[in-house]
Amino acid sequence: MRIDDEDSYRDDDMRVHHEDEPFTGEVVHRDADGRVSALISYVEGVPSGPQTEWYSDGSKRNEGQTRWGLAVGDWRRWHPNGRLAEHSVFSPQGRRTRRRRWDQDGNLTEDRSFTT
């Protein structure tokens, strides 16, 4: 199921609900001009699954996966010019294991591994 953000709400525990039930499916977020700005997957009201955000020109801003609210696997973030800004890798438990960052010209500025 896919719903618009305006058709959902968060409870006191920050779980997303639709029609008074914890929501499972995708929530579409739109900017002021009606363009899709984010698509976030939920299971029982908690972010779980693919997460994608876009800049207003339609280019990707962020992309990754969550499992029960934790970032897992590969996450990428892009500069507004379309160049990759950051690539992080998270363990299945949500711990960052590696992060690489680039400036807007594509030059590597950080390459760091984290112990888990």
> Taking the model in full, what pTM does it have?
0.90
User: pLDDT class for 51, splitting at 50, 70, 90?
Assistant: very high
User: Which two structure tokens, joined as six digits, stand for 102?
Assistant: 């680039």
Could you tell me the CATH number of the domain that includes residue 66? 2.20.110
The closest alpha carbon to 42, from 84, 14, 61, belongs to 14
Residue ranges making up the domain that contains 85 = 2-113
* pLDDT tens, position by position, 72-92: 999 999 999 999 999 999 999
Residue 107 and residue 85: Cα distance in Å, rounded? Answer: 9
**pLDDT value for 115:** 82
The closest alpha carbon to 98, from 88, 86, 85, 84, belongs to 88
Residue 26 · residue 41 · CB < 8 Å = yes
- How many domains, in total, are found in the chain? 1
